[in-house]
Chain A
Amino acid sequence: MNRALRWGLAALLATGLLVGAVVLAPFSSWLPGGTVADLPLAQVVNGSAFNRLFPAPELGQQLVFTQEKRGFSEARLKQAGEALALLAISDTRTAPDARAKFEGSRERLQGWPLLEQGAQASALLVADRFQVKVIGQGQGLAADQRHALLEGFDLPGLAALAPARERAASPGGASEAFSPESALQEAA
């Protein structure tokens, strides 16, 4: 194969790839995969931001982190090797249904809507975006024990993770109540 032909083939291949990329680029959002709801990763808060907001374990208890993904972090609260509860924070951006279910809730905990899901799960929606959940394991926990665990989370810190413009736009009055604090945290 002579030299000119080789260069010609290479140029043809390169233009082919370029044209292919340009043609396919608008369809990239249709290609399968990505996050669960096919959102750009940047729009979902990374799970590592949630870790420091988990409640500190009491004496004799251990908090073992078990999963950390985009928009999700989960830990197990253990006592003497037995799991007492699953504690989790998730970004409802990838699960709009999870956020919508709080519309019917009347209970409030520290100003945020609270919901019971079945016998062992309590969920809290913070800043209209982050779901905090406690699920009793093994023997199970009473509702007020679960609520105490929910209050142990750093809820103002979690509310501060939502971008400022979103908080200003959110209709709930509760999220504004925390704005001085979150402004302080953002300044720090």
Chain B
Amino acid sequence: MSRTVLDRLDRLPRRGLTVLALQGIATLVPGGWSNPTNAEALIAEVLGDDDPALVRQVRARADLLSGARHEGYGRALSLYDAVNRSQRASGGLRLLANVTAGLPLLQRIGNITPPSDKLQAADLSLKVGAELLAFTQVNGLPGDSFGDFTAALADYAGDARVRMAALICFDGLLPLGNQALERLDGLLGQVSSGELRQLPAYGRLSGLLPGRGDQAHLGFLRRGVESWAGWAGGFIGQLGLTGQRAVQALEGRLGPWQGRMEGLAAFLDAFTDTYAHTGVQAVARRLVERAAAEI
């Protein structure tokens, strides 16, 4: 928490598995993705001017804003970090289960991991829930009406189209198949509060979710996913996203993949930070837009 949002942006990787995976998915999204990892360049783009004195002023203001607890920019990043850590852990567990399934002595490890579909659905719902919470942390509740709010939400998602495409592909279509959105609500209905508590991300998010108790949180997550799925369904239809196309797009960057789609999803979960990576970029952009308007 000691690093500011823009410091985090400057430290994001410019190459590596995370970037390759995102570049692969970006081939499916019109407009592509430029991987902004330079705070000064981002400020100059928003400001429409690269005068060093102005850029320095904006940066100082942005650092001040991201340090203030009430402003929520730092809190949004800790939400993304929590989800990311949990994703790595569960991805690693699923990979381990895949590997050890062939070894008689180690098959027990496969048995202790929950059925991967349900776990995956719960994981996706936590990511969507974290996204909604982070949105309100970063942007507040923009506008005066519900219509204004949904327009703001759609605008934010449109800003981060590659981020959303990555979320849909890596956490929906690859592990759950092309009918992911239709299956999601049913799968979430099967998740018990005990299973929810097993997810590391839930432990970190539960204090921030509205409502008291696991059942209320589960209700919030299901409603959140329901409203998100409406938007995501349109997005999938518009871009023609499928698991197969996602695999092809990823193969173009990462090299050929022989295994099953679930295996690829577990591999990506365990070894990439796409969610936190694009999260930092989305928060940084909004922060810079505010700082530029306030100096």
Task: List the interface of chain A (C-beta within 8 A of B).
Answer: 32-36, 41, 47-48, 51-52, 62, 64-70, 72-76, 81, 86, 88, 90, 94-95, 97-98, 117-121, 131, 133, 135-137, 140
Task: Please report which residues of chain B, range 19-37, place their CB below 8 angstroms from some CB of chain A when the two chains form the complex.
Answer: none
Closest B residue to A41 by CB, please name it.
B70
B214 within 8 A of A: no
B65 within 8 A of A: yes
Give Cα A34–Cα B69 distance, bound, in whole angstroms.
6
Q: A118-B51, A120-B48, A136-B48 are in contact. Are A86 and B289 (CB under 8 A)?
A: yes
Chain B residue total in the interface (Cβ 8 A): 35
B46 touches A67 (CB 8 A): no
A118 touches B295 (CB 8 A): no
A76 touches B155 (CB 8 A): yes
Closest B residue to A89 by CB, please name it.
B293
The one of B49, B71, B148 in contact with A65, judged by C-beta atoms closer than 8 angstroms, is B148
Chain A residues whose CB sits within 8 angstroms of the CB of B295 once the complex forms: 95, 97-98, 117
B293 touches A133 (CB 8 A): yes
A117 touches B54 (CB 8 A): yes
Closest A residue to B47 by CB, please name it.
A118
B233 within 8 A of A: no
Closest B residue to A35 by CB, please name it.
B70
A-B contact pairs, 30 of them (CB 8 A): A36-B71, A48-B144, A51-B144, A64-B151, A64-B155, A65-B142, A66-B286, A66-B289, A67-B139, A67-B142, A67-B290, A68-B139, A68-B140, A72-B293, A73-B142, A74-B289, A75-B142, A76-B155, A86-B293, A88-B294, A95-B294, A95-B295, A120-B47, A120-B49, A131-B293, A131-B294, A135-B47, A135-B293, A136-B48, A140-B48
A121 touches B49 (CB 8 A): yes
Give Cα A149–Cα B65 distance, bound, in whole angstroms.
27
A72 touches B294 (CB 8 A): yes
Chain B residues whose CB sits within 8 angstroms of the CB of A68 once the complex forms: 139-143
Most central of B57, B290, B294 by chain A CB within 10 Å: B294
B292 within 8 A of A: yes
| In the complex, per-residue mask of B57-73: 1 if CB is within 8 Å of any chain A CB, else 0 | 10001001100111110
Q: How far is the CB of A55 from chain B (nearest CB, A)?
A: 15
Q: How far is the CB of A61 from chain B (nearest CB, A)?
A: 13
B257 within 8 A of A: no
Give Cα A81–Cα B158 distance, bound, in whole angstroms.
9
Closest A residue to B48 by CB, please name it.
A120
A137 touches B48 (CB 8 A): yes
Closest B residue to A36 by CB, please name it.
B68
Q: How far is the CB of B234 from chain A (nearest CB, A)?
A: 15
Closest A residue to B292 by CB, please name it.
A135
Chain A residues whose CB sits within 8 angstroms of the CB of B96 once the complex forms: none
A51 touches B54 (CB 8 A): no
B12 within 8 A of A: no
B152 within 8 A of A: yes
Closest A residue to B152 by CB, please name it.
A65
Q: A51-B144, A95-B61, A135-B292 are in contact. Are A118 and B54 (CB under 8 A)?
A: yes
Closest A residue to B293 by CB, please name it.
A88
Give Cα A131–Cα B214 distance, bound, in whole angstroms.
45
B70 touches A70 (CB 8 A): yes
Q: How far is the CB of B176 from chain A (nearest CB, A)?
A: 30
Give Cα A75–Cα B139 distance, bound, in whole angstroms.
11
B54 touches A65 (CB 8 A): no
Give Cα A106–Cα B68 distance, bound, in whole angstroms.
34
Give Cα A107–Cα B81 distance, bound, in whole angstroms.
47
Q: How far is the CB of B152 from chain A (nearest CB, A)?
A: 5
| In the complex, per-residue mask of B127-160: 1 if CB is within 8 Å of any chain A CB, else 0 | 0000000000011111110001001100110100
Give Cα A120–Cα B43 distance, bound, in whole angstroms.
12
Give Cα A65–Cα B155 distance, bound, in whole angstroms.
9
Task: Please report which residues of chain B, range 263-295, place their CB below 8 angstroms from some CB of chain A when the two chains form the complex.
Answer: 286, 289-290, 292-295
